[in-house]
Structure 1
Amino acid sequence: MNQERIFQVLHAPHVSEKSSIVGDVHNQVVFEVAKSATKPEIAEAVASLFGVKVDGVTTTNVKPKQKRFRGRPGTRSGWKKAYVTLADGEEIDFLDGATQ
């Protein structure tokens, strides 16, 4: 996979209460990914960008929500979420020691 596609596949890490619990218990990291991304592409992108060994990838399509803005109905866009399981002993530190 070329470098350009790697940056198109991964959009951002998804930080929430659920993702931090999953990270602690199951050694997983949650990412927002492109809707067209496949599981092998996601695994290869995470492995090459962060230098870790990936055991598995599970994806979820998050459905769009119906909302109202100034009384008019609208729809938020849907997105794709990937749960990336890392090998034992592997870890991704997004802060790079900034909390020390």
Structure 2
Amino acid sequence: MTEYNPRDLADLVIKPIITEKATLLLEQNKYVFDVLPKATKPEIKAAIESLFDVKVTGVNTIKPPRKKRRVGRFIGHKPLYKRAIITLEEGDTINLFPDV
């Protein structure tokens, strides 16, 4: 197994996603995070395991196509992003809402 630098792994995970669909996935012990587009599945797994002290059983990633945006006569794109759906081992949880 490849050794990862813990300082680099912390930068891969940007933020957790709290949407209606993501909260429905919480019942299946799945968590959704925004990650850097260059992050790979093994890196994401290592980052989540080191940040939250949990055992990850699966990582699914989503990299949707960029949408065009127009400002006046200039056409550009929305920023590229990547989401990771993390499946945890039975019994492990991540506390996304502390003290609520």
1:20 alignment partner AA: T
SS of the residue corresponding to residue 55 of structure 1 reads strand
TM-score by length of structure 2 reads 0.87
| Equivalence map 1:1-100=2 (5 Å) | 1-24=4-27, 26-70=28-72, 72-97=74-99, 99=100
Q: Distance in 2 between matches of 1:65 and 1:31?
A: 20
1:80 alignment partner AA: K
Stretches of structure 1 that go unaligned for 5 or more consecutive residues are none
1:46 alignment partner AA: I
Q: How many residues align?
A: 97
Q: CA deviation at 1:7?
A: 1.6
SS of the residue corresponding to residue 62 of structure 1 reads coil
Q: Distance in 2 between matches of 1:45 and 1:77?
A: 23
TM-score by length of structure 1 reads 0.87
Stretches of structure 2 that go unaligned for 5 or more consecutive residues are none
2:15 alignment partner AA: A
Q: Distance in 2 between matches of 1:20 and 1:95?
A: 12
Percent identical residues: 34
2:88 alignment partner AA: L
- State the Cα deviation string for residues 67-91 of structure 1 (Å, max 9, x = none): 2334643311121110000011111
